Structure formats: structure tokens, C-alpha cells
Amino acid sequence: MAPADPTRSFTAMMAMEPHGPDTFVGAGPRYPWGGLYGGQIVAQALGAAAATVDPAYRVHSLHAYFIRRGDHSEPVRYEVARTRNGRSFCTRTVEARQAVGAILSLSASFQVDEDAPEVQIAGLPEVTPPDAITDTSWSSFYDRRPLPPGDRPGEQAAWMRAVLDEGDGGVSAPALHAAALAYISDDLATDAAHAIDPRHADDWENLAGFSLDHAIWFHRPLRADEWHLHTMRCHGLMSSRGLSVGEVFTAEGVHVATVTQEVLLRARR
């Protein structure tokens, strides 16, 4: 049977090919704006890291720096370093490379689940359910149903869920769902920063946004193919950079993740 097309299926995109010890090669689609989507590189880097970790360890955080823009016409090589294997935690460092050099550097930490008190303070806001909202996704890999901008400046929210195929995509099921959330989580941060930029209202088509760095804390196991509310708010702009901070909730109100991203906003040349 021929392998599934990684440009048409998220699960197939995550089934990267091993190329030597702790090295994987992945590909993806060309996106509407050209180049690669940052969420794809983060998701594949996380998948590569997870492939070197015992499934008993679940990812609890990742931190990524975008170094160069990716080229959609070229595969991406993910080189994993086994930074530490501990009894409770494992740490991995991943460098994503193309011909031009490194395009992303990611660190991920994995933990064995522990029996300990569980407390949730963050709460799901009262919003319109996803079934009553028109879909605006630009990708066949996930559904996106945006809510109207919030009352506070720079506040954006959307219901989103991954479109996954049968199978595990070459990584354990929890790792696949974490990677799918990572893929989706790169969406709203730039929108939130755009919304408070004074240039946005007058000339938004000539305002380009780029992800600089990205962090996710995974609080609880999740099913990325179910509806989750992603909330995001940009805290401000300085030196062309905007910091967006957000939370991810299940439809039942369970807080599953926290996301931060620093965005670069510049006028197009």
C-alpha cells in the first residue's frame, strides 16, 4: 500500500520517515501565503521528540524558536538530542533543518503522570457554541469557527478541532493529539497582535506577521479532534513584537493547555 499523502492528511504528515538515529524527515503542504506554516514545524518537531521517549512519559511543555522561514518545496530534517532521561521527566531538544540551515529549535519536556491534587482556576467563558458559527479554516487539517472580537483590545477566540485519520501517525495516540494541538495553536496569536496594531485598520493587507517563538504547557490529556475553545489576547506591542497569551478549554470547560507566542509585525516590503 502506498503511503498517505502528507500534504492532504495531518495524520500522514506526522508519519515522518526515520533517517538514522533520532533523525526524522517530514513534509507538508504549500500554504496559502507560501512557505511553511509554523504550526506544522512545531507539530512535527514535537512528534520527532515523542518518538524517542517511552510512551509512559507525556509531554507537558514545549518551547520553540522560529529561526528562518521554511520552504514548502523541500523536506524538513528533524534532529533529536536526548538531553536527559530521568525517572519522572525526560527532556528532548530538536533542531529542524533545511538546505538553508536551521529553521526551528525546540525543547520539549515529558513527565510520567503523578498521583497528586488537581485544581483548576481558569474557567471557560460563556460563548456561542461551535455549531452556530460559520467555519473559516484555511486548512483541511482542522476546523476553525471564530467568535467576534472580545471587549478587551487584542482579544480573539475560536472553536477549533483537528481533522485526523484512522491510525496513530507514527507516534503514540496521546503524542499525536498533542502535536495536533500544537499545529492549531499557531493560528490565533498573530490575529490577536494584528488587532491592536494601529496600522491594521488602514492597511492590514500590507502588514505581515511572523511567529518568533512559541510555548505550550499541556496541563491535561486531550482529544484534539474534539471541539476546543482557544482564547488569545495580545498584551502589547514594542519594537515590532507583540506578545499573545491564551488558554485552551474543552467544550465541557476543562483547561487543557496554555499557549504563548511572540509575533513580529512589519509592513510588507
pTM: 0.93
Which among 172, 185, 211, 244 is annotated as catalytic?
A: 211
Q: What pLDDT does 1 receive?
A: 40
Closest by Cα among 120, 152, 130, 86 to 227: 130
Closest by Cα among 217, 221, 257, 261 to 109: 217
Any catalytic annotation for residue 137? no
Q: What pLDDT does 204 receive?
A: 56
Q: How far is CA 157 from CA 8, 175, 203, 257, in A?
A: 26, 25, 23, 14
Name residue 215's beta-bridge partners. 63, 260
Which among 9, 40, 186, 197 is annotated as catalytic?
A: 186
Mind listing the pLDDT tens digit of every residue in the chain (269 residues)? Answer: 445 677 788 999 999 999 999 999 999 888 877 788 999 999 999 999 999 999 999 999 999 999 998 888 899 999 999 999 999 999 999 999 999 999 999 999 999 999 999 999 999 999 999 999 999 999 999 999 999 987 788 899 999 999 998 655 556 689 999 999 999 999 998 888 888 888 765 555 677 888 999 999 999 999 999 999 999 999 999 999 999 999 999 999 999 999 999 999 888 77
Query: Residue ranges per domain, the chain?
Result: 10-113+126-267
Any catalytic annotation for residue 98? no
CATH class of 10-113+126-267: mainly beta
Distance CA 23, CA 21 (A): 5
Name residue 265's beta-bridge partners. 209
Any catalytic annotation for residue 5? no
